[in-house]
Each structure stands twice: as structure tokens, then as C-alpha cells.
Amino acid sequence: MDDSAAQRDLLTALLTRMGLDVVTVSDAAQALFICMMDDGADIRLILSDWQMPGMDGPDFCRSFRKLARDDYAYIILMTSETDRGAKARGLEAGADDFVTRPIDLTELRARINTGRRILDMQEALQHRNHEVRTTLDDLRAIQDATDRDLAEARKLQRAFLPEPHRWMGASELSLRLITSGQIGGDLVGYFPISDDEIGLYSLDVSGHGIASALLTGRLAGLFSWTSRRANIAFRRDGRGVHGPEEVMARLNALMLEEMTSDIYFTAVLAYADTRTGRVRFCQAGHPHPLVRRTTGRVERVGDGGPPVGLLPDIRFDCVETLLAPGDAFLAYSDGLTECADTWGDMLEEEGLMALVSDMPAETEAAVDSIEAALQAHSGINGFEDDISMLLLRHGGVDHADGARAA
């Protein structure tokens, strides 16, 4: 862009030899008009004189930069100005480089090549950005599909749980499961053994991902409420159940035979007699169950034991405790005791025992109060691990007979 036809012809010859397609105009207004047309979108490098009739070089730069363009164009101003302030104004107007008159063709060729390298890098960057945007869109679509699948999996996982509150004669039980993510690795539930005895289980699968959730689904099926034949606790002849420690041994063998991953789980499996208050349970690497007496005293029961699915031929033991009428038995996951506040301090077993000591007598209100206390303790942290608990309050023989007579 130059008002001198001779200069335009000279520059056209030079630029053509450099492999560029050249369009020449005599003034800035005509150049802007061409750049606004569809064909002007292909113009990537502009060589403009500073002094032109009607609109000078800096004015052209300002007007050109206001155009809506997808690609960047590199502007070189030709000027006899030697004042640094003038060149600064040209840069502020939108120029990228300068070449001084009288023009040294070697210098001009070098500055044009510099502009071409910058434009090539800019184009390569645009391609990379496009690839990144496309990849991010694909990942976002995959994430959305995964989130939908996880939401459905969460619904299915909730379907594994029996009713959250139930009466067995005069005995009352409630359970609670809160997953820290969309799906979790905790499982709590119960199943009937006889008219007076009920099985209780609390399990915590290692990890928090999809694999852990799949295993909880498998375990939920093995402790089926509706089918004794499918429930691993019942004998094949349907006459009674294996002891809690035998069930854990069977589960351990099953895990080692069928599972090829490093996943394992901890558990408490208890058989509670709702008439006598006798509770037999096996503790397999799970936190110690707590017994709350009617006086408010809280006892830690159980002898520990190894997790399920780590080692073959390990021994699991059975422990008994006796509940008096009004006493409560709590099985829970370590998400309760390891619930941390904003300082990182965990609730610990002592803190949980204090909550259990002060909880209401009714089991549903009791698990509500424990959950509320955990939320208050964690504060803005939320729950970093799954929270699960099952609470049984023993009603007693006389209470049960009275309830049945009524």
C-alpha cells in the first residue's frame, strides 16, 4: 500500500520473488475495503506507507485492528520517521514492525521473513488450540456420559440397601449411608434369620472408585434379604446359618479365588437375638462396635481381626455381648472416626463414643444426631470418606411379648 506507483511496482516484484501473492492499492481506504471483503480474509501480511493521502499509516492500523477477523495480520509500516516517539505511536496504533526509508531491500526481506515466521507460529498455535478445544469437548462429553452412568449407579447402589428403619418385635434398628463421592465402597444392611434373630452387617471396601462400588453390589447380593439360597450366611439345606466367623472365612476364600485385584474389605457381621439381647459377631478389620447402655455408658466391644480378601487360610473369631432392654449396638465404618475438621483433626473413637453417649434413645433420631454432629465437625471440608452406620436398640423379652399381645 503506497501512493507511488513506481514504489508499488518495485515492492510487488520483490514480494513476488519471495513467493507471496501480492495485492496493491494506492490508499488506505481502498485497502480497508478490500480487507473487509471475503477475499480479504486471506490477507495475512500488510506493507503500508506511513504518509498517505486521506489516512496515514497509524490511522490505517487503528481502523484495521477494529475489523472482525479470524486470523491475525502482520503490519509493517514504511517510514522516514526517526523519532522514537512516532514509532511508539505506530506500535500503539497496531503496527508490528517498521522499515526505514530509503528502503534497504535486504532489510525489508529480513523483516518480511520475520513476519512470516510469526504468522506461521500463530497459525500453528491456532491449530494446536483447535486440537485442544476438540479434545476438551470430547473429554467433556465423556465426563458427562460418565456422570450420568455414575448417577444411575448411585441409584442402583441405594437399591442394595434395605429399609433405613425397621422394627423387629420391640427392637428397633436404623441404618445410614452417605457416600463421599457419587458412588462409594461402604455397605450396611440386615437380613432375617428367624422370627427372633436378625443378621446385621457393616462393610467397607478399600478404595472409593467404580471397582469398590461394584464389589459392594456383589456383597449386597451375598447378604440378600429376600433369598436364603443366595445369602452366603445360610446353610445349603436352609436349616440355620453359618456362624459369623464361618461366613467371614467363606467370604475370604471367595475373594481370593474369584478376585484378581488388590481390593479387600473390612466388616462386622452380627447375629442379634431380639428376645434375649444376645449378639454374636465377627469383626474383620473393621472398627470396634460400640454398645451404649441405658445409663449412657458406652463400651467398646470386639477383638479386632484381619480384613477379608488379603491372606488365605486366616482365622476369624466370634465374640458375644449381651444387650439389656434399652441398650443399643452400633456398627460403623472408619469414615466416622476419621472424619476430619478444617484443621485436619479427626473425630477419633473417643469423640464418637461421646456422641453415642448423648444420642437419643430412638434409633432414627440417634443416627440423625450422629450425622449432624459429623457434619458440624467436618465443616466446609465435607466428608472425605464414606459414612455408614447401623444401630440396633434391644427391646427386651417383656417388651416384645407386650408388643405381640398388643
pLDDT tens digits for 354-382? 999 999 999 999 999 999 999 999 988 88
Pair 93, 182 in one domain:
no
- Sequence-distant (6+) residues with CB within 8 A of 229 are 238
223 & 361 share domain:
yes
Give the pLDDT score at 8. Answer: 77
CATH of the domain at 39: 3.40.50.2300
Give yes or no: residues 14 and 59 share one domain. yes
Q: For the residues 378-395, what does the mean pLDDT come to?
A: 91
pLDDT: is 6 or 50 the higher one?
50
Residue 275 covered by a domain: yes
pLDDT interval class at 404 (50, 70, 90): very low
Statement to judge: residues 250 and 364 lie in one domain:
yes
Do 181 and 118 belong to one domain?
no
Residue pLDDT, tens place only, 96-130: 888 888 888 888 889 889 988 988 888 888 889 88
Are both 194 and 106 inside the same structural domain? no
- State which residues form the domain around 54: 5-127
Instruction: Provide φ and ψ at 336, rounded to 5°.
Output: -75, -50
Q: Does any domain span residue 135?
A: no
> What pLDDT is attached to residue 156?
67
* Least confidently predicted of 118-122, 251-255, 259-263: 259-263
83 and 215 in a single domain? The answer is no
Residues 160 and 274 in one domain: yes
Contact between 338 and 345 under an 8 Å Cβ cutoff? The reply is no
How far is the C-alpha of 243 from the C-alpha of 250, rounded, in Å? Answer: 11
Residue 23 maps to a domain: yes
What's residue 388's pLDDT? 94
pLDDT tops 90 at residue 161: no
- pLDDT of the residue at 72: 86
Which is higher by pLDDT, 33 or 296?
296
Q: What is the pLDDT of residue 1?
A: 56
pTM for the full predicted model: 0.67
112 and 156 assigned to the same domain: no
Residue 155 has a pLDDT of 66
Residue-level pLDDT at 157:
65
CATH number of the domain within which 308 lies: 3.60.40.10
In a domain, 133, yes or no: no
Lowest mean pLDDT, pick from 1-15, 41-55, 97-111, 378-392: 1-15
Judgement on whether residues 224 and 315 belong to the same structural domain of the protein: yes
Instruction: Assess whether 246 and 381 both reside in one domain.
Output: yes
Q: Which one is predicted more confidently, 332 or 24? A: 332
* Tally of domains in the chain: 2
Confidence class for position 406, pLDDT limits 50, 70, 90: very low
**400 in Cβ contact with 195 (< 8 Å):** no
- Can you read off the three cell numbers belonging to residue 244? 459369623
